[in-house]
Structure 1
Amino acid sequence: MPAPETDTPLPQDFDTLKAAILERKAQLPKRLRQVAAYALDNPDEIAFGTAASIAASAEVQPSTLVRFAQHFGFVGFSSLQQIFRARLRERTPGYDERLRALGENGHSQLESGAILNGFVAAGHRSLDNLAGAVDPAAFEEAVTILARAETIYLVAKRRSYPISSYMAYAFGKLKIRHQTVGTAAGIDEDVLAMAGRKDAAFAVSFSPYAPESIHQARLLAARHVPVVSLTDSAFSPLAESSRVWFEIAEADHAGFRSLSASMAFAMALTVAVAEKRRQLGTRPETE
């Protein structure tokens, strides 16, 4: 039986394993990095699946799963899989049972009604997972960064755009200076050039990631503008440019994802920034 590839302490729980994966992700070979991304994006599938089905979904060979496990100190893949199964046992019961019950009960015989019920249930599941996905200390740090900024730059494209659009509306009502990066005139680079160290940015992008948003976040980070971001994977390219980043994975219905948890997060962040500015004595912008 081959010996583990590392002498570092064996991860005892999912959070420790996730931290180890993120710490070493830049040094992982291509195929192991591919497994790491799949594992963190699909932890339930790792817990429930077989080595063959997981390898097929991650588009690697089953032997790569074994090498991945050994890289982090496990004897084999089944030993690592126990970490993912323990995560499910420890997790607070959510809406998974309700989703299953909805399908089993045939809640509505009408096709359109069934579609509505599916999206409602998926939204419940996303919201139920939201609290556990956001670290309170990280959230407080993000709020402070944005609250201290003279101007908040909002970066989002494609499916993420409704989130920044809502935040722009709310910031306007709260009289907080902001700038949406995304103009019909195509002068985004000129808008970004005005951002400085006293400003901050909030960027959003979900897989498949919008190249423009990733590029703009990198530009801002290079100008020493602190970036707070919302994304859906620890391997998101947004994470590399962000002072603080949050990972929220929306549940889907029939392959379609809504923005239930993401919009709730954006609402909470916006209001928290306004409250923090009040506490700091930051005067609202007046027109």
Structure 2
Amino acid sequence: MRHAPEPGRSLAVLDAARIVANLRALFDGHRLSPSQRRIARYLLDNAQEAVFFTSADLAERAGVSQPSVTRFAAALGFRGFPEFREALRTSVFGDRQPAATDDRHNEIQELVTSEIRDLERLRDGLADPGQLRRVAGQLAGSSPLLVMGLRISAPLAHLFGYLAEKVLPDVRVLDVPGSIMEDRLSRAAESGAAWVLAIGLPRYPRELEQGLVWARRVRLKIALVTDQPVGRLTDLADEVLLAPVSSGFAFDSHAAATVLCTALLHTMLDTLDAEGQARLEAFDDRAAERQVFLTG
């Protein structure tokens, strides 16, 4: 049975910003699986009604299994869902305020502030998510899906590939240039691949341009994540997704590009709908059974 709201306390007048701040404090510092992050996102958007849910209610609303909700509560350090729900109610109905911040920043903090501004530029550029959704749908429909990244862009390509293979049946990361890359592009095209996601961040390797030229030669479409709207790489792309690169640190920071790729993966999962979520659930179940990840 669901609990009734607190007498005399209207949900409509609760401070939404305070609730979100309290919930983020509850979630921060914990490593959550994709399914658990789905639950967290649902709670951030629907906390005022979720405080009255059972674990089965929350699982149904968030689109996950009931064991995933139980594992979510455990991942946050609670002994069970009832204890977590009490903490959730405190976050919603309590009167705690976010801690005050000091406006004085040192040099490193100023560099981080510059990075935050880049992320804000990325956020503003996604005000219309139409292109992101279009590209996500195209990539999700490509089997195999190819992810290309060389030199400094290779780690982000591998991160994207590692996460994408949790929800797609065939993901291939291409990080070796030259004839080997040409062979792999050709074989993938013959196997039915339609799209390659290329990550081209400065400094731009000459071999990346050569790889994109070959991709077009074997009739693959190209989605490019880069920081410049015009250039030799963008001329070869069918879709260009822009993410600013911060050059204030001794080495370039790719925080915005990483967030953009994560947003692209998130949108791909939405595109796949039940199929992608089922693959994520299966991965979580296998990982829990095999005790792949530390819990303490």
* Corresponding position of 2:120: 128
Q: C-alpha root-mean-square deviation of aligned residues, in Å?
A: 3.1
> Quick one: distance in 2 between partners of 1:202 and 1:156?
9
Q: Is the 8 A contact 2:212 2:236 kept in 1?
A: yes
Q: Is the 8 A contact 2:148 2:175 kept in 1?
A: yes
> Quick one: distance in 1 between partners of 2:261 and 2:196?
13
Please point out which of 246, 266, 277 is paired with 1:251: 246
> Quick one: distance in 1 between partners of 2:242 and 2:178?
32
3-state SS, counterpart of residue 187 of structure 1: helix
Q: What 5-or-longer segments of structure 1 have no aligned partner? A: 1-100, 109-113
Please point out which of 239, 262, 270 is paired with 1:267: 262
Q: How does 1:7-156 map to 2 (within 5 A)?
A: 105=104, 107-108=105-106, 114-115=107-108, 117-134=109-126, 135-156=128-149
Please point out which of 217, 222, 234 is paired with 1:227: 222
3-state SS, counterpart of residue 201 of structure 2: coil
> Quick one: distance in 1 between partners of 2:215 and 2:154?
18
The 1:201/1:231 distance shift into structure 2, 3 A limit, reads same
* Corresponding position of 1:165: 158
Deviation at 1:182, TM superposition (A): 1.8
Query: Is residue 2:192 matched to residue 1:200?
Result: no
- Cα-to-partner distance string for 1:218-271 (whole Å, 9 max, x where unaligned): 211222211111111122222122111122222332564211111000111112
3-state SS, counterpart of residue 252 of structure 1: coil
Q: Is the 8 A contact 1:125 1:251 kept in 2?
A: no
3-state SS, counterpart of residue 246 of structure 1: strand
- Cα-to-partner distance string for 1:22-58 (whole Å, 9 max, x where unaligned): xxxxxxxxxxxxxxxxxxxxxxxxxxxxxxxxxxxxx
Deviation at 1:156, TM superposition (A): 0.8
> Quick one: distance in 2 between partners of 1:227 and 1:242?
5
Deviation at 1:132, TM superposition (A): 2.4
Residue type of the alignment partner of 1:153: L
3-state SS, counterpart of residue 150 of structure 1: coil
* Corresponding position of 1:179: 172
Q: What TM-score comes out, normalization by structure 1 length?
A: 0.54
The 1:217/1:184 distance shift into structure 2, 3 A limit, reads closer
The 1:132/1:202 distance shift into structure 2, 3 A limit, reads same
Q: Is the 8 A contact 2:164 2:265 kept in 1?
A: yes
Residue type of the alignment partner of 1:121: T
> Quick one: distance in 2 between partners of 1:129 and 1:238?
22
Q: Is the 8 A contact 1:155 1:217 kept in 2?
A: no
The 1:225/1:187 distance shift into structure 2, 3 A limit, reads same
3-state SS, counterpart of residue 258 of structure 1: coil
Deviation at 1:283, TM superposition (A): 8.8
The 1:204/1:274 distance shift into structure 2, 3 A limit, reads same
> Quick one: distance in 1 between partners of 2:194 and 2:166?
19
The 1:124/1:193 distance shift into structure 2, 3 A limit, reads same
> Quick one: distance in 1 between partners of 2:218 and 2:208?
15
3-state SS, counterpart of residue 165 of structure 2: helix
Deviation at 1:181, TM superposition (A): 0.7
3-state SS, counterpart of residue 113 of structure 2: helix
Q: What TM-score comes out, normalization by structure 2 length?
A: 0.53
The 1:260/1:164 distance shift into structure 2, 3 A limit, reads same
Q: Is the 8 A contact 2:140 2:268 kept in 1?
A: yes
Q: Is the 8 A contact 1:154 1:202 kept in 2?
A: yes
Q: Which segments of structure 1 move beyond 4 Å, counting only runs of 4 or more?
A: 183-186, 279-287
Deviation at 1:195, TM superposition (A): 2.5
The 1:281/1:169 distance shift into structure 2, 3 A limit, reads closer
> Quick one: distance in 2 between partners of 1:155 and 1:240?
17
